[in-house]
Amino acid sequence: MKWSYMRALPLAFIGLAVCHSALADAPKVLLSIRHRHFVPQQLQVPAKTRVEVLVKNEDSIPAEFESADLSREVVVPGKSTVSVYVGPLSAGRYRFFNDFNPAAKGWVVSVPQRSD
């Protein structure tokens, strides 16, 4: 029996729904770019958890959220917001910077969760 696109289509939709659902549940943190610098300069996130970082560029010129530690690089157009998913991360500090303004840098600090 041949595998057809019509049979694969429902499976693709199910896969997308599962992925979207998993990403929608990720905790969110806000990182602003203001006057070409990151605010706050340090983001605290839970360890071993996938997190959505909303990078909001309040300036009118583009900026870049880049991190070799996090394997992420994304241009954030002026007056816009982009989502960057990171993790799950081990406990530690992860550097990020704006490649368009090397003086702008910060850290994602991943902290262990309290065990109840």
Residue 68 Rama label (left phi>0; alpha psi -120 to 50; beta):
alpha
Query: Comparing C-alpha atoms, which of 64, 112, 114, 55 is closest to residue 88?
Result: 112
With respect to residue 20, please indicate whether it lies within any of the assigned structural domains: no
**pLDDT tens sequence across 99-116:** 999 999 999 999 998 864
With respect to residue 105, please indicate whether it lies within any of the assigned structural domains: yes
- Rounded to two decimals, the pTM is 0.77
**pLDDT tens sequence across 49-59:** 999 999 999 99
Query: Comparing C-alpha atoms, which of 57, 56, 63, 47 is closest to residue 103?
Result: 63
Distance CA 105, CA 97 (A): 4
With respect to residue 11, please indicate whether it lies within any of the assigned structural domains: no
With respect to residue 19, please indicate whether it lies within any of the assigned structural domains: no
Could you give the number of structural domains in the chain?
Answer: 1
With respect to residue 6, please indicate whether it lies within any of the assigned structural domains: no
Q: How many residues does the chain have?
A: 116
Distance CA 31, CA 29 (A): 7
With respect to residue 2, please indicate whether it lies within any of the assigned structural domains: no
Average of per-residue pLDDT across 6-25: 52
Tell me, what CATH number does 84's domain have? 2.60.40.420
Average pLDDT across the chain, whole number: 87
Query: Comparing C-alpha atoms, which of 105, 101, 23 is closest to residue 70?
Result: 105
With respect to residue 15, please indicate whether it lies within any of the assigned structural domains: no
DSSP string covering 21-68 = HHHHTS-EEEEEEETTEEESSEEEEETTS-EEEEEEE-SSS-EEEEET
**pLDDT tens sequence across 24-50:** 689 999 999 999 999 999 999 999 999
With respect to residue 10, please indicate whether it lies within any of the assigned structural domains: no
Domain ranges, residue 88 = 27-111
- What's the token pair of residue 23? 């990403």
